[in-house]
Structure 1
Amino acid sequence: MTWNIDIERIAGILDGSATIAPGVNVVRGSNWQGKSSFIEAIKTALGTSTELTEGAESGTVHLETPTGVYDVALTRENGTVARRGEPYLSDEYDVTRAELFACLDERNEVRRAVRAGENLEDVLLRPLDFQNIDAQIETLQREREQIETELTQAREAKKRIPSVQEKVTRLENEIEDLQAKRETIDSEAGSDDSSESVRRQLSQARTEQNQAQNRVERLEQSIERTEQRLSERQDDLDALEIPEYNDVADKLSEARESLSQVERDAEVLQSVYSATEMVLSEDRLDLLTEVERDIDEDTVACWTCGSETTRADLADRLDALGSELTALRAQKETYRDTVEELETQREEISQARQRKADLEEDIAELKTTLADRKQSLDAARSRLEKAQGDVERLSDHVDAAVAELSDVESEIKYREAELEDTADELAQLETRAGRVDTLETDLESLRDDLAELRGRKDRLKREAREAFDTAMQDILSRFGTGFETARLTADFDIVVARDGQEASLDALSEGELELIGFVAALAGRQSFDVGDAVPLLLVDGLGGLDDDNLHTLIEYLQQGTEYLVFTAYPEYTAFDGREIDPTRWTVANEKQASAD
């Protein structure tokens, strides 16, 4: 169950190898011994990194796992690094999930966003960009319409089975009665060769007449049904109305641009507000400008324009900035609602246009079918007319007994042909009706899939926030943090509470921010089932945590992954797990030192 990795010229490791065992794996070493480079090498094997050793033209990673062997080669080409071979992860969706929620080094986007105090919606929901949810919904909608049509036909077939079965039984009984009648006629009346020949001809002519008559009737019924379906489709087309929303695409583009602009403005204003609030709350105006202390009130020089002002004026201006920030947030929600409404209008227009195209296609097919069947009806009527003439001509040459026998035999053949057609129809109906349960199950599954896809983003947002809250409560129960709790808002902003009031992230320590960053990453890991794609969790850059907190964090992280690999300095006490010795590797700084 171990992972074995061989490394050549990746990041700072020129040559090295290691074994990763289930559970905790710690790479303990000082600076420049390749700890972080080892994490980069594993990321290269996973497919989330392409970091070559500085100055090297190529590098390789060979990874053996219980599920397969993976070789990745990196080469420097035209100033960029190209990857060849087969990494552990090849699907872009899996790569994105692992990069965000399994590779938790200092470069991790989730940890970085938390440290910077940024909104987390984009980074936590980024894997959704690679799932093409809208395209999947369109495909499932087409499949649903097809299954609904087939299900309607299958249910109709199920209703018709009893009547068709009754017709089969009736025809079988009629044939038995006709066969008995023919035997009676044969025994009561003799026949010579000449009359036998005429009788056969008459029987064949009447059979042909009956078959032609049956053919004409079926075609007339088929034409009537086709004309009815054509009329229904034409009525549906005439009644169809395509919603008239003016300039939806332009309005949607304009609304998205406005939303983006408001979000950028809010982000800029938030940065100014947070910085000014911190300077005032920490009473550190002297870091930015000269402060003239006075008994009544301190006077300061504005650090942007140089004009003289007071601390109270600055506080009032800060309150005004806060009000403006609140207004921008409300405006952002308004634009977001507008974007959603315009997207709904665009989808309604698309569906109506698709429905129109489908109806027009059905109408064209029905018209072609109708023309073909009318042509076949003309041919069948000509055939019937000829058969009727033959019957009339031959009937004049037979006596009453021969005519009666011919009638019986002709009727037998007609009934046998009708029985064969009806039996075939019954078999087709039973086959089609037998699919009702399967089609109903498939339809229900498609509806569930559609509902899941349509609500996937909202569900994932909800799950991510719930996972964040759960993990945060677990973290707070293990660590002595300076804040009481932290949560994700509906807009995916991090809100921290201290002493019962909202506090700024800037006031948190480096270690506290790192803990929140890990909580956010683990929330994404749970929401997107990252453990199903890669049973590995990589952790680096934990220098901001003391020995007790690092051990506590590692104990917590190992509960959620099969393989945990992290880096630590020698001064940390021993961990309960496998230690990977970096001194066995050849690293880039050793080669440079020997050359000096």
Structure 2
Amino acid sequence: MSASQIEAEKMQLSVENIGGIDGTTVEFTPGVTALAGRNATNRTSLLQAIMAAFGSDHVSLKGDADQGQVDMTIGDTTYTRTPERRNGTIVTGGNPYLDDTELADLFAFLLESNEARQAVARSDDLRELIMRPVDTDAIQAEIEQLEAEQREIESNLEDLDSLADRLPELEERRTTLTEQIEKKRAELEEKETELAEADADVEDSRADKRELEETLDDLHDARASLDDTRFELDTQRESLEALREERAEVQGELDELPETPVGDIEEINTEIGRLRDRLRTIDTTVNELQTIIQFNEEMLEGTSREIIDSLRNDVGNSESESEAITDQLVEDSENVVCWTCGSEVPKAEIEGTLDRLQKLRSETFEERNELRSSIDDLQSDKNTLEDHQRKRDRLDRRIEQIENELEDREDRIEELISTREDLESEIERLEEDVDDLQEEDYSDILDLHKEANQLEFELGRIQSDRESVDSKIDGIEDRLEQRESLKERRDEVHTELADLRTRIEQIEEQAIEQFNEHMETVLDLLEYANLERIWIERTEHQVSQGRRTVSQRTFDLHVIRSTDSGAAYEDTVDHLSESEREVTGLVFALAGYLVHEVHESVPIMLLDSLEAIDSDRIAALIEYVADHADYLVVALLPEDASALDQDYQRVTEI
């Protein structure tokens, strides 16, 4: 169900054994809902239950329960999640609202431990966090597919351009042949007129005339065949020479290509596969580290009395001893209760472990960047090798075709030479027969017949030649009709490639624009003293990755303050107050929510732990954020909730 489908619908939530909740049912209306109450009143537990219903795994079970359940009903649809404890870990089943909660966990579920919200205070890599939901591997695969199609289109267009270059020459040849045909026809008509006049004056034996005419017809046919044979022989020899020249050119082009062993490509493919497997493993490690770090940070913030009692009871202490130790731990801020064994542990040791985990996470991020760079290098090498191999295969196929054509033409030339010799002998015999039949009185008319016959031979040859040229022109024009559609597709591919190659950059620009715009508006609303501006700038740095130096973009956060005299100066993030850092982190998370259009799939936003911000500013901030989500559920202290608009829904008991 999309966000638009649930507009104006109520949402009902039933919860059992989640966090500190035994059981409760709460109904939410679209808009702002304030969970008003003191600390340890299960407000955060209810927010975790909402997260679980939407699909998040950031949920904890009640200390004395092995299984819990969350049912969320929107309209006529109910979504159920059933977390249960197995071998010391919590496994969650059921049918959540979302199949993938990465966007929601980062930019919609803004509890205190939310990574996007804490990014500013922890000086995390802001760009990496904004770009994390973007599937860069899928974008790269699509780019490679389009690049291959682009190369194929360019190759086809080159072939068509070569054909188009031949077209003017062929059209000029057709024009010349047409003029020659018209001229020959005129000459033949004139000759036939002369022959008709000469025939009228000749009084000869009909039998002799028929025999002479039949012999002349045979001579005409033989000469026509000889002429056609000679013409075809010349054409075949020209084609043979052209094929030999083309073969030399193709062979030269082939010799210039570097060798591309198939094994090299296979090795690169294997290495790319290995690196991608390693990258997926590292991504899994990063996610696991993030979960562990977030959990530990939450526990360091403080453990509730119920959990402490449960932990102490689990290790066999009496009720009175548990209460005494619990009181002692509550009073001693330097110690915490271990959430695995229930023993008392110095807080500094846990913080030290947390520091090492955060350092490991940073090192893992660096390794992931190096792997991506190595994969890009290998993919580039692979594309180059494949281009060479494709060109070599194409040239090999063309050479094979030329060799076959050469063999066919050489065989045909031998046949034509033999045919020509036979026709020359036949013509010689027929000419002797004509000489025997012709008499002095027939010499003029016989000459006219020979001339007419010769004109007919020449006319037939020219017409045949033009038909051949017409056929070639028609074939080329048919193929050239594909050129426009190929060019259109090439432009489409070029546009798609440009869009894919700039998609990441566009997301970065949109994220910065959203943050800077909303940060400016929020600072105007909240009116922090001498805080003029907080903004993000995208910068590029040259860094070494693998075998090359590349440009790496980062998001640099700037803080501008002013003195009492009104002079502006740049400050550092470390000097922001806790309230200012909280607001900046929330606005950064809101920028991610907007740039990734999270509202299209996640209609709710959750907030808690806003105590560092004063009541009036909390009210202004909530009113501003409420414009961007169908449901905004926020956990507040009673005094902070009292500053909100009275029309907002309030939940005071859970």
Fold match by TM threshold 0.5: yes
1:508 pairs with 2:520: no
Which structure 2 residues correspond to residues 234-313 of structure 1 after superposition, within 5 A? 234-237=255-258
Q: Which moved more, 1:137-146 or 1:498-507?
A: 498-507
For 1:33 and 1:493, the matched residues in 2 are separated by: 37
Aligned to 1:3: 6
For 1:185 and 1:334, the matched residues in 2 are separated by: 94
* Native 8 Å contact 1:179 1:412 kept in 2: no
* Native 8 Å contact 1:230 1:367 kept in 2: yes
Whichever residue aligns with residue 183 of structure 2, its letter is: D
- % of aligned pairs identical? 17
For 1:44 and 1:387, the matched residues in 2 are separated by: 90
User: How far did residue 411 of structure 1 move?
Assistant: 0.9
For 2:24 and 2:218, the matched residues in 1 are separated by: 103
The alignment partner of 2:608 has SS state of coil
Aligned to 2:242: 221
The alignment partner of 2:134 has SS state of helix
The alignment partner of 1:127 has SS state of coil
2:473 to 411, 415, 423: 423
1:66-97 deviation line (CA, Å, top 9, x unaligned): xxxxx67557599541548xx6x77x6xx644
User: How far did residue 357 of structure 1 move?
Assistant: 2.3
Which structure 2 residues correspond to residues 320-469 of structure 1 after superposition, within 5 A? 346=378, 349-396=381-428, 397=430, 400-401=450-451, 403-428=453-478, 430-431=480-481, 434=484, 438=488, 441-442=491-492, 444-445=494-495, 448-449=498-499, 451-452=501-502, 456=504, 460-461=507-508, 463-469=510-516
Aligned to 1:318: none
Whichever residue aligns with residue 588 of structure 2, its letter is: A
* Native 8 Å contact 1:50 1:82 kept in 2: no
1:549 pairs with 2:626: no
Aligned to 1:178: 184
For 1:421 and 1:440, the matched residues in 2 are separated by: 29
1:476 pairs with 2:523: yes
Structure 2 CA distance for partners of 1:418 and 1:557, relative to 1, 3 Å: same
Aligned to 2:32: 26
User: How far did residue 475 of structure 1 move?
Assistant: 1.8
For 1:195 and 1:74, the matched residues in 2 are separated by: 103
Structure 2 CA distance for partners of 1:450 and 1:375, relative to 1, 3 Å: farther
Structure 2 CA distance for partners of 1:462 and 1:193, relative to 1, 3 Å: same
Q: TM-score, normalised by structure 1?
A: 0.63
* Native 8 Å contact 2:69 2:81 kept in 1: yes
Identify which of structures 1 and 2 has the higher relative contact order when contacts are C-alpha pairs closer than 8 Å and 6+ apart.
1
Aligned to 1:233: 254
The alignment partner of 2:572 has SS state of strand
For 1:336 and 1:50, the matched residues in 2 are separated by: 24
Aligned to 2:358: none
For 1:59 and 1:451, the matched residues in 2 are separated by: 43
Identify unmatched segments of 5+ residues in structure 2: 17-22, 85-90, 197-209, 265-270, 294-299, 301-331, 336-346, 350-362, 435-449, 540-553, 564-569
1:150 to 149, 152, 156: 156
Aligned to 1:566: 632
2:140 to 134, 144, 157: 134
Whichever residue aligns with residue 585 of structure 2, its letter is: G
User: How far did residue 185 of structure 1 move?
Assistant: 4.5
1:327-384 deviation line (CA, Å, top 9, x unaligned): xxxx999999988986775455434433432343233323322222223223332442
* Native 8 Å contact 1:168 1:423 kept in 2: no
Structure 2 CA distance for partners of 1:304 and 1:516, relative to 1, 3 Å: closer
User: How far did residue 228 of structure 1 move?
Assistant: 0.8
User: How far did residue 417 of structure 1 move?
Assistant: 2.8
The alignment partner of 1:132 has SS state of helix
User: How far did residue 424 of structure 1 move?
Assistant: 1.9
User: How far did residue 536 of structure 1 move?
Assistant: 4.1
For 1:469 and 1:582, the matched residues in 2 are separated by: 34
Aligned to 1:323: none
User: How far did residue 459 of structure 1 move?
Assistant: 5.7
User: How far did residue 520 of structure 1 move?
Assistant: 0.8
For 1:375 and 1:402, the matched residues in 2 are separated by: 39
Aligned to 1:169: 175
Structure 2 CA distance for partners of 1:26 and 1:451, relative to 1, 3 Å: closer
Structure 2 CA distance for partners of 1:347 and 1:508, relative to 1, 3 Å: same
For 2:157 and 2:622, the matched residues in 1 are separated by: 55
User: How far did residue 184 of structure 1 move?
Assistant: 4.2
Structure 2 CA distance for partners of 1:74 and 1:332, relative to 1, 3 Å: closer
Whichever residue aligns with residue 130 of structure 2, its letter is: L
Q: Which moved more, 1:497-506 or 1:383-392?
A: 497-506
User: How far did residue 126 of structure 1 move?
Assistant: 0.4
Structure 2 CA distance for partners of 1:403 and 1:347, relative to 1, 3 Å: same
User: How far did residue 580 of structure 1 move?
Assistant: 6.2
* Native 8 Å contact 1:120 1:492 kept in 2: yes
Structure 2 CA distance for partners of 1:451 and 1:554, relative to 1, 3 Å: same
Identify unmatched segments of 5+ residues in structure 1: 65-70, 243-247, 269-274, 276-285, 290-302, 306-330, 590-596
Structure 2 CA distance for partners of 1:572 and 1:391, relative to 1, 3 Å: farther
1:194-233 deviation line (CA, Å, top 9, x unaligned): 6546645654564465446435533542442243123113
For 1:181 and 1:3, the matched residues in 2 are separated by: 90
Whichever residue aligns with residue 235 of structure 1, its letter is: E
* Native 8 Å contact 1:151 1:440 kept in 2: no
* Native 8 Å contact 1:75 1:83 kept in 2: yes
For 2:214 and 2:174, the matched residues in 1 are separated by: 36
* Native 8 Å contact 2:247 2:402 kept in 1: yes
* Native 8 Å contact 2:15 2:49 kept in 1: yes
For 1:199 and 1:17, the matched residues in 2 are separated by: 106
Q: Which moved more, 1:223-232 or 1:485-494?
A: 485-494
Structure 2 CA distance for partners of 1:204 and 1:341, relative to 1, 3 Å: same
Q: TM-score, normalised by structure 2?
A: 0.59
Whichever residue aligns with residue 458 of structure 2, its letter is: V
* Native 8 Å contact 1:203 1:407 kept in 2: yes
1:101 pairs with 2:107: yes
* Native 8 Å contact 2:52 2:70 kept in 1: no
The alignment partner of 1:538 has SS state of strand
1:94-143 deviation line (CA, Å, top 9, x unaligned): x6445433454556431244565644343222023455343333333323
Q: Which moved more, 1:472-481 or 1:100-109?
A: 100-109
* Native 8 Å contact 1:11 1:40 kept in 2: yes
* Native 8 Å contact 1:8 1:61 kept in 2: yes
Structure 2 CA distance for partners of 1:334 and 1:206, relative to 1, 3 Å: same
Whichever residue aligns with residue 498 of structure 2, its letter is: D
* Native 8 Å contact 1:199 1:402 kept in 2: no
For 1:430 and 1:359, the matched residues in 2 are separated by: 23
1:404-433 deviation line (CA, Å, top 9, x unaligned): 155235314422332323322441464255
User: How far did residue 566 of structure 1 move?
Assistant: 0.9
The alignment partner of 2:605 has SS state of strand
Structure 2 CA distance for partners of 1:339 and 1:131, relative to 1, 3 Å: closer
Aligned to 2:296: none
1:553-588 deviation line (CA, Å, top 9, x unaligned): 2332355x3x431125684466497x66879xxx9x
Whichever residue aligns with residue 93 of structure 2, its letter is: V
Structure 2 CA distance for partners of 1:52 and 1:530, relative to 1, 3 Å: same
